[in-house]
């Protein structure tokens, strides 16, 4: 018998601004604005995000920066330029921690991920509460970032549960509560219900998710087409069977390292690449990926760099394939180039999942 699932959605609080807070703890009590500066004039650009103190002044994502400045005039607000490299680092560290807590993890953006924790909590929503608190505490200690968690019987309910209580929220919706939980919410809380659809639904007398749930499914299909009509009907009734699955987000996985001394000695080089490729292999297998390309990267003593690549006949997922190809790429490379080598790298790419991924319904909605 299919067990009911326990799915979590974690969404980091005021993420870019919280990252800035993390590296400048003294600004914690001030309004913080992170902006994308277009560079045309000093203040041209838009707010990427702001902390909750700045939000009280009406400063939100998308607001032009000059207006944010105006709204925050007379306060001790601090402004930052977006630093994606740093935010990605923080995000990756947290995702890595999440992986240890879930059977599968699906990262949906830099600050959001679904975790399937059914096995870990033995299908129990009571246990899920403690479990969610444990994950929050762990990330808080290890990384220092807070986030909100929604727990539900599927991704759809988990997401809306999470959105319903922020920041630092923990909202648990049991399977038997899901329909009633969604019913009073406006339809545009559902993924795929944008401005146009909201207007169209309002004309049909549908304002809340509850209205939509009761609406004749056949009629929805006539208006929105089969795929969307059925999706709206199911979503409003808290039905969503989409699995939590890792997206093939990375184009390649690689590591680079510096040799202890400049050299042309193959054995010495392979000692280093063995270390690097063990790391690469660990990440590839954690993500359940197969690869079709293996590449090396070489920086010479004169700091010029080169790369060489092999395409495999078949997708592979074992460490020996990486090792063998790295070795033969280096043998060839050393035969071609007279220079001493200073840094080396190993990279795999052209990923596929082990099993063909089923097309997700939500991909129709984007
Ligand atoms: N972001 C952006 N531009 C937007 C919306 C968001 O650059 N229009 C970036 C900055 C956010 C990050 O994406 O920090 C995550 O977006 P969220 O919508 O989750 O917003 P926050 O994490 O900032 O706030 P919340 O606490 O409401 O989740
Ligand atoms: Ca967020
Ligand atoms: Ca988010």
**With contact defined as beta carbons under 8 Å apart, do 185 and 197 qualify?**
no
- CA distance linking residue 87 with residue 69, whole number of Å: 23
Each of the 366 residues of the chain gets a pLDDT tens digit; together they read 457 999 999 999 999 999 999 999 999 999 999 999 877 788 889 999 999 999 999 999 999 999 999 999 999 999 999 998 899 899 999 999 999 999 999 999 899 999 999 999 999 999 999 999 999 999 999 999 999 999 999 999 999 999 999 999 999 999 999 999 999 999 999 999 999 999 999 999 999 999 999 999 999 999 999 999 999 999 999 999 999 988 755 688 999 899 999 999 999 999 999 999 999 999 999 888 899 999 999 999 988 888 899 999 889 999 999 999 999 999 999 999 999 999 999 999 988 875 443 445 555 554
The pLDDT of residue 359: 46
Cβ neighbors of 310 (< 8 A, separation 6 or more) are 293, 294, 295, 325, 328, 329
Q: What's the pLDDT score for residue 305?
A: 85
What residues flank ion ligand 2 with Cβ within 5 A? Answer: 11-12, 15, 111
Asked whether the whole model's pTM tops 0.75, one would answer no
Three-state SS for 107? strand
- Residue 167 alpha carbon, nearest atom of ligand 1: 26
Instruction: Return the active site residues.
Output: 112
pLDDT on residue 165: 97
Report how far residue 71's alpha carbon sits from residue 204's, in angstroms, rounded to the nearest whole number: 39
pLDDT at residue 358, rounded to an integer: 44
pLDDT at position 249 is 55
Whole-number Å distance, alpha carbon 191 to ligand 2 midpoint, is: 16
Pocket test for ligand 1, best of 15, 110, 169 (most atoms within 8 A of CB): 15
**pLDDT score at 183:** 98
CA 143 to mean position of chain CA atoms: 16
Q: Which residues on neighbouring strands pair with residue 293, listed in sequence order? A: 311, 349
With contact defined as beta carbons under 8 Å apart, do 316 and 290 qualify? yes
Shortest-distance Cα residue to atom 20 of ligand 1: 14
Q: Is the CB of 175 under 6 A from ligand 1?
A: no
Q: What is 4-31 written as a DSSP string?
A: PP-EEEEEETTHHHHHHHHH-GGGTTS-
């Amino acid at each position: 018998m299919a067990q009911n699932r326990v799915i979590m959605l974690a969404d980091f609080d005021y993420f870019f601004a919280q990252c800035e807070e993390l590296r400048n703890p003294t600004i914690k009590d001030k309004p913080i604005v992170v902006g994308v500066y277009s560079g045309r004039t000093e203040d041209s650009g838009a707010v990427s995000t702001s902390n909750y103190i700045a939000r009280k002044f009406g400063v939100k994502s998308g607001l032009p920066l000059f207006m944010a400045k105006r709204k925050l005039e007379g306060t001790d607000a601090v402004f930052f330029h977006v630093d994606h490299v740093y935010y990605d680092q923080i995000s990756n560290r947290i995702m890595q921690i999440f992986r240890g807590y879930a059977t599968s993890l699906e990262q949906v953006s830099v600050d959001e991920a679904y975790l399937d924790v059914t096995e870990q909590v033995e299908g129990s929503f009571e246990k899920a509460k403690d479990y969610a608190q444990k994950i929050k505490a762990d990330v808080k200690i290890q990384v220092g970032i807070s986030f909100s968690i929604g727990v539900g019987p599927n991704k759809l309910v988990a997401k809306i549960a999470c959105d319903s209580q922020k920041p630092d929220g923990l909202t648990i919706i049991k399977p038997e509560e899901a329909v009633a939980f969604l019913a009073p919410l406006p339809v545009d809380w559902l993924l795929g219900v944008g401005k146009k659809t909201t207007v169209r639904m309002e004309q049909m007398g549908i304002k809340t998710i509850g209205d939509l749930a009761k609406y004749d499914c056949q009629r929805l299909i006539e208006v929105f087409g089969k795929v969307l009509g059925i999706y709206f009907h199911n979503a409003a009734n808290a039905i969503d069977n989409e699995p939590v699955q890792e997206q093939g987000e990375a184009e390649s996985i690689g590591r680079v390292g510096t040799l202890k001394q400049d050299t042309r000695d193959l054995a010495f080089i392979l000692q280093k690449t063995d270390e690097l490729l063990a790391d690469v292999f660990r990440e590839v297998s954690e993500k359940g990926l197969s690869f079709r390309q293996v590449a090396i990267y070489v920086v010479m003593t004169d700091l010029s760099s080169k790369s060489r690549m092999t395409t495999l006949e078949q997708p592979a997922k074992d460490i020996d394939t990486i090792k063998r190809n790295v070795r033969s790429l280096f043998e060839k490379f050393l035969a071609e180039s007279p220079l001493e080598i200073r840094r080396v790298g190993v990279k795999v790419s052209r990923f596929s999942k082990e099993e063909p991924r089923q097309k997700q319904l939500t991909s129709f909605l984007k």
